[in-house]
């Protein structure tokens, strides 16, 4: 008998050891329950992180845009007279954000904003010889923009360099117009201006449309080509907390008075899917947790019935109600804790196995392996608490046993 | 006139103790009707009576496992009537040892640990002193070499000897034994009885033994007979002229 352990813990461990079969079965139950929780959580965290990484490293978290042009029909005449008017929706010209440098300065002052980068974007034709393709020209400051959109992480060939004479294009466009790194490509804008630029790199963002339709040039080159000298069409922002993007967008709207769209509002379906996934995961955890709790409770209820005579003897020998209660609460906690340890190991093993088996068509990982210590710590604490709570009813029942009745059996 | 030795201090005093069940219900029944009884330090008494006479109920009251409906019950002069449940449990643990017919050892523990149990419950943590007490008692009951054995590997007689050692672990002034030899063969029964007798003499522990065995009852110092919830007779064995037990059949 260990001298550093209190009586209740010693008795709880001995009772669990004596009822080996019951203990083994309930431990197996708790292990499987915790393993399911760990597996699901790690899998969903990995998939979610993958989605978020894909979505949020290829677009800004918040985008500031110039106000849309609205029709303003001339009104006049006498007060109180409403004139009938046919108002046509105006075409949206390429416009710059007014005072964008001042706004950019304000944005960079905000603690929630990590990076803010100006962008001048418009459409043009990429022409080489007889081949031409319509493209979206995005003029950027590479040192800031490449921290918003991780283009350098997706370079298939060349070096992502952008001077005023350079252009980065997608692999699909390169194939269609027949250029390689180092070749020259002409861009013709609708305004009639054009520029001949050197292809410094080819990117592959994993989307055929984007690889065909997008090109990146230096901000000044785009401004000149699109007739936006000194202007920008958007300010693109990366924030610290991606889930707070909408709140930050609203704050920016209030601060600057211009339109600010968050990734949440522009990807509402994706955001809804992520939320649904999280809710599903939470529900699975709750139901698995409940079944674990009921399993522990039922085993301990049986144990109390089986041990009622021993409980009566302990009470006769001077065991206080609290001591008896603690014996069963500790049993619940120990079952939860041991089950969570083995369940965490099993769950982690299953995730690792699944991660190595489930691959994309190109052999790359389907989802990143995310096994955080907090997941295991959380599972252990939660399982132990569940065990203690589940043991509450049997423990109370044991503590309330009348020793006379219990001894008589 | 020369004065005799002073009587030993009372360990247990019952005055007008009554016990009824199903209080306030049409099925209310009183099983003990005003018991007056005093046990003094060092007495070795048998409690006899036919089945249903109220012996077990009386033993439960004396063992503080149940409370009387009326009357006074004192353990070493302390009135137990006003004690809260926790205080009653503590008094029971420290002042009363129990030996049951079916020994009722805790099978998850070894022989020595079972003997230590009352001390462990009282103090909360195991200690070397407890271990020494348990080993000394096991030696006294002849089970020193079995101290680390699980109790379910001991014979019935051995288990009952462990139970006797356990009842004495706290060195209580009073030990209540409910049919302690009822499940044992004659040899084991005699051994268990002799052990209790030895502890009674060497430690001055008061024993109250419920038994149906007239042979064992007559080896006690005093026989208390309960019939229909009342003490029918209470006398030293030496003073009993006729057998205290009705002839069999």
A234-258 average pLDDT score:
90
Query: Does residue A118 contact residue A196 with C-beta atoms inside 8 Å?
Result: no
d(CA A61, CA A16): 54
pLDDT in tens, A382-399: 888 888 998 999 999 999
Strand arrangement of the beta sheet that strand B70-75 belongs to: B29-40, B10-21, B70-75, B78-79
pLDDT for position B151:
94
Top residue of B121, B129, B135, B172 to mutate, by most chain A CBs within 10 Å, is B121
Model pLDDT, residue B1:
46
Q: Would the pLDDT of B193 be above 80?
A: yes
Task: Determine, for residues B89 and A18 on separate chains, whether the beta-carbon distance falls below 8 Å.
Answer: no
Two tokens at A400? 């309330």
User: Averaged over A83-105, what is the pLDDT?
Assistant: 79
Cβ-defined contact of B92 to A318 (cutoff 8 Å): yes
Q: What angle do CA A348, A352, A356 make, to 5 degrees?
A: 170
User: What distance in Å separates the CA atoms of residue A383 and residue B88, rounded to the nearest whole number?
Assistant: 37
Q: What is the pLDDT of residues B59-73, one digit of tens each?
A: 999 999 999 999 999
pLDDT at A84: 67
- Whether the full predicted model's pTM is greater than 0.80, yes or no, is no
Instruction: Write out pLDDT tens, residues A330-347.
Output: 999 999 999 999 999 999
Question: What are the C-alpha distances in Å from A228 to residues A120, A121, A225, A232?
Answer: 8, 10, 8, 7
pLDDT number for residue B248: 42
Out of A2, A14, A404, closest to residue B108 by CB: A14
Q: In chain A, which residues have their Cβ closer than 8 Å to the Cβ of B100?
A: 313, 407
Q: For residue A14, what are the contacts with CB-CB under 8 A and spacing of at least 6?
A: B108, B109
Q: Considering only the beta carbons, identify the residue of B108, B124, B170 that sits closest to A7.
A: B124
pLDDT for residue A293: 86
Average pLDDT over residues B84-108: 91
Span B209-217, average pLDDT: 90
Q: Are A310 and B106 in contact (CB under 8 A)?
A: yes
pLDDT higher than threshold 60 for residue B244: no
Beta carbons of B57 and B31 less than 8 angstroms apart:
yes
List Cα–Cα distances, A27 to A21, A37, A288, A349, A375, in angstroms: 10, 15, 14, 18, 20
Taking alpha carbons only, the member of B15, B109, B85, B98 closest to residue B56 is B98
- Give me the mean pLDDT over the A257-273 stretch: 85
Interface of B with A (CB under 8 A): 60, 63, 65-66, 85-86, 89-90, 92-94, 98, 100, 104, 106-109, 113, 116-118, 120-122, 124-128, 166, 170
Q: How much is the average pLDDT of B221-225?
A: 95
Alpha-carbon gap: B132 to the closest alpha carbon of chain A (Å): 13
| Phi, psi (deg, nearest 5) at residue B147 | -60, -35
Does A405 contact chain B (CB < 8 Å)?
A: no
Model confidence at A376, pLDDT cuts 50, 70, 90, reads confident
| Cα distance between residue B180 and residue B177, in whole Å | 6
Cβ–Cβ < 8 Å for B168, B97: yes
Which of the four pLDDT bands, split at 50, 70 and 90, describes residue B247? Answer: very low
d(CA A63, CA A60): 6
Distance from CA of A238 to the nearest CA of B (A): 59
pLDDT at A302 over 50: yes
**In chain A, which residues have their Cβ closer than 8 Å to the Cβ of B109?**
14
Question: Treating both helix axes as pointing N-terminal to C-terminal, what angle do B111-123 and A7-18 enclose, rounded to 10 degrees?
Answer: 140
Whether pLDDT at B3 is above 60: no
pLDDT score, position A45: 82
> Which residues in A lie closer than 8 A to residue B125 (C-beta atoms)?
3-7
User: Mean of the per-residue pLDDT values for chain A?
Assistant: 87
Contact A318 B90 (CB under 8 A): yes
Does residue A209 carry a pLDDT above 50? yes
Q: CATH number of the domain at B43-68+85-236, out of 2.40.30.10, 3.40.50.300, 3.40.50.920, 3.20.20.410?
A: 3.40.50.300
Is residue B95 over pLDDT 90? yes
pLDDT for the residue B6 = 67
Residues of B in contact with A308 (CB under 8 A): none
Chain length of chain B:
249
Checking if the pLDDT of A291 tops 70, the result is yes
pLDDT at res. B245:
53
Tell the residue number behind the tokens 């049919």, with chain if given.
B179
Mean pLDDT, range B31-58, rounded to an integer: 94
Which residues on B lie below 8 Å from A316 (Cβ)?
Answer: 63, 65, 92, 98
Per-residue confidence band for B249, with pLDDT thresholds at 50, 70 and 90? very low
Q: What is residue A40's predicted lDDT score, i.e. its pLDDT?
A: 87
- Region A292-306: mean pLDDT is 85
Tell me: pLDDT of A76 over 70.
no
Q: Which pLDDT score, from 0 to 100, does residue B187 have?
A: 86
pLDDT of A77 > 60? The answer is yes
Residue B30, pLDDT score: 92
Mutate which of B61, B62, B95, B108 to disrupt the A interface (most A C-beta within 10 Å)? Answer: B108
Q: Are B100 and B37 within 8 A, CB to CB?
A: no
Q: What is the pLDDT confidence band of residue B10, given thresholds at 50, 70 and 90?
A: very high
Taking contacts as CB-CB distances below 8 angstroms, the residues of chain A near B108 are 11, 14-15, 17-18
Radius of gyration of chain B (CA): 18
Residues 6+ apart with CB under 8 A from A314: A323, A324, B106, B117, B121
Q: What is the pLDDT of residue A237?
A: 92
Q: How far apart are alpha carbons A313 and A271 in whole angstroms? A: 61
Q: Give the residue from chain B lying closest to A321, CA to CA.
A: B86
């Amino acid at each position: 008998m260990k001298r550093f352990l209190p009586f209740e813990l010693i008795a709880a461990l001995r009772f669990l050891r004596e009822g080996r079969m019951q203990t083994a079965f309930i431990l197996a139950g708790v292990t499987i329950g915790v393993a399911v929780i760990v597996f699901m959580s790690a899998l969903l965290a990995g998939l979610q992180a993958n989605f978020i990484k894909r979505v949020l490293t290829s677009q800004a978290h918040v985008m500031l845009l110039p106000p849309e042009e609205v029709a303003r029909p001339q009104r006049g005449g006498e007060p109180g007279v409403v004139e009938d008017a046919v108002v046509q929706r105006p075409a949206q010209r390429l416009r710059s954000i007014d005072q964008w440098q001042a706004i950019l300065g304000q944005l960079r002052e905000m603690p929630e904003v990590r990076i803010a980068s100006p962008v001048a974007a418009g459409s043009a034709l990429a022409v080489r010889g007889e081949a031409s393709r319509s493209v979206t020209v995005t003029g950027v400051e590479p040192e800031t923009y490449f921290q918003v959109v991780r283009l350098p992480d997706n370079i298939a060939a060349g070096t992502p360099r952008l001077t005023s004479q350079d252009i980065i294009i997608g692999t699909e466009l390169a194939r269609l117009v027949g250029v390689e790194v180092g070749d020259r490509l002409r861009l013709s804008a609708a305004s009639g201006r054009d520029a001949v630029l050197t292809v410094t790199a080819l990117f592959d963002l994993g989307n055929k449309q984007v690889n065909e339709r997008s090109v990146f040039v230096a901000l000044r080159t785009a401004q000149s080509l699109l007739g936006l000298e000194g202007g920008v069409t958007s300010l693109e922002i990366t924030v610290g907390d991606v889930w707070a993007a909408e709140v930050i967008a609203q704050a920016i709207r209030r601060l600057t008075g211009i339109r600010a769209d968050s990734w949440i509002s522009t990807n509402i379906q994706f955001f809804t899917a992520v939320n649904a996934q999280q809710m599903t995961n939470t529900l699975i955890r709750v139901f698995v947790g409940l079944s674990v709790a009921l399993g522990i409770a039922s085993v301990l209820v049986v144990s109390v019935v089986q041990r009622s005579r021993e409980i009566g003897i302990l009470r006769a020998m001077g065991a206080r109600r609290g001591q008896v209660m603690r014996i069963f609460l500790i049993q619940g906690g120990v079952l939860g804790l041991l089950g969570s340890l083995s369940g965490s190991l099993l769950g982690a093993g299953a995730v690792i196995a699944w991660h190595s088996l489930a691959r994309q068509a190109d052999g790359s990982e389907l989802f990143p392996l995310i096994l955080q210590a907090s997941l295991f710590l959380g599972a252990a604490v939660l399982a132990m608490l569940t065990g203690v709570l589940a043991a509450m009813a049997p423990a109370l029942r044991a503590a309330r046993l009348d020793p006379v009745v219990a001894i008589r059996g | 006139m020369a004065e005799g030795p002073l009587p030993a201090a009372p360990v247990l005093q019952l005055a007008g103790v009554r016990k009824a069940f199903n209080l306030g219900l049409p099925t209310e029944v009183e099983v003990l009707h005003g018991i007056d009884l005093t046990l003094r330090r060092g007495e070795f008494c048998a409690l006899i009576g036919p089945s249903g006479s109220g012996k077990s109920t009386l033993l439960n009251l004396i063992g503080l496992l149940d409370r009387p409906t009326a009357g006074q019950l004192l353990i070493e002069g302390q009135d137990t009537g006003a004690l809260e449940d926790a205080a009653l449990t503590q008094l029971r643990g420290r002042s009363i040892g129990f030996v049951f017919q079916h020994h009722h050892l805790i099978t998850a523990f070894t022989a020595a640990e079972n003997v230590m149990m009352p001390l462990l419950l009282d103090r909360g943590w195991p200690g070397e002193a407890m271990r020494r007490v348990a080993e000394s008692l096991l030696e006294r009951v002849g089970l020193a070499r079995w101290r680390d054995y699980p109790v379910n590997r001991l014979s019935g007689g051995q288990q009952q000897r462990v139970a006797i050692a356990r009842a004495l672990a706290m060195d209580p002034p009073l030990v209540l034994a409910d049919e302690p030899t009822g499940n044992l063969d004659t040899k084991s029964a005699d051994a268990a009885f002799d052990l209790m007798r030895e502890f009674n003499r060497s430690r001055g522990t008061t024993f109250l033994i419920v038994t149906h065995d007239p042979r064992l009852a007559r080896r006690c110092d005093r026989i208390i007979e309960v019939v229909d919830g009342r003490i029918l007779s209470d006398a030293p064995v030496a003073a009993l002229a006729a057998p205290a037990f009705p002839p069999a059949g």
